[in-house]
Amino acid sequence: MSTEVSSVTDLAGDIAGTYRRTESSGRSVDPAVADADLAAVLRDGYVILTDLLTPRELAEIRAEVGPLLDHRGRNDFEGHTTQRIYSVLNKTRSCDRIAAHPRVLAILDRLLMPNYLLSMLQVINILPGETPQMLHTDDGFYPIPRPRAALSAATIWAIDEFTTTNGATEIIPGSHEWGSELPENDSAARTPVLMPAGSCVFFLGTLWHGGGANTSETPRLALTAQYCEPWLRTQENFNLSTAREVAREVDEDILRMLGFSIHPPFVGQVDGMHPKRLL
């Protein structure tokens, strides 16, 4: 008996034999909580999730990333008075919890297609004296006109408390629904995201935002984890940068989001097989 397939999308189920699609740990979150988070995100463009990291986890992140903060930004966007660390997963395990926090994954599970990808994981330390970062969106580099659904989502995690003076991320609430209009950089609508250490702001890739000025006397340590649809190119090229030993160490959520997964029917294959066979 033969089965007629009229287009490749007819094959879009999981046709993998050995390595089936794996469940996200977002499933462990109360569906009512995740649904409410998503509703806020779709309405306002963002939601603030408080107290997701323990003091011990925060201390471990500070201890591990501190010694890596040995240089400053190379341009206005990175910030000449800001320190950034890229390729974080190759340098420390302390930030894995941030890359794959179940509360965040539960929103992503509802927002993006299965096997969405980690696009970026970056430490951002805004030092005293830094000026406001230019407002931008995190999926504006995908050349698909707005208004449209977000192609990505981002989190920014407060490792230090975000205050009115230390460079808290600033957002323009509701701007995820804008079309082609651009905000003035000094827009009065810039709204600081004030939150205690261990919290994060989750926002759509279409939301206008930027780092704030740090007029305080202390640095503002943060991490951003960004995610995109599984059929898009990621900002950090994890396919090339992820050491094989790291892929063996991280948990299933991170492994899947690093691209050891298939966007059905066969996007992401290696030599015709599931990429997990590399491990």
Ligand X SMILES: O=C(O)CCC(=O)C(=O)O
Min CB(137)–ligand X separation in Å: 9
Q: Residue type for 154, please?
A: A
Query: Toward ligand X, which CB reaches closer, 28 or 185?
Result: 185
Query: Toward ligand X, which CB reaches closer, 29 or 225?
Result: 225
Interaction site with ligand X (CB under 6 A): 124, 126, 133, 156, 169, 209-211, 222
Strand partners for 122: 224
Query: Toward ligand X, which CB reaches closer, 186 or 245?
Result: 186
DSSP sequence for 178-224: --S----TT-TT-EE--B-TT-EEEEETTS-EEPPPB-SSS-EEEEE
Min CB(54)–ligand X separation in Å: 22
Min CB(10)–ligand X separation in Å: 39
Name the maximum alpha-carbon separation found in the chain. 74
Min CB(65)–ligand X separation in Å: 14
Min CB(29)–ligand X separation in Å: 25
Query: Toward ligand X, which CB reaches closer, 31 or 129?
Result: 129
Identify the CA nearest to 167 among candidates 156, 175, 152, 176.
156
- Exposed, middle or buried, 168 (CB in 10 Å: 0-12/13-18/19+)? buried
Query: Toward ligand X, which CB reaches closer, 26 or 73?
Result: 73
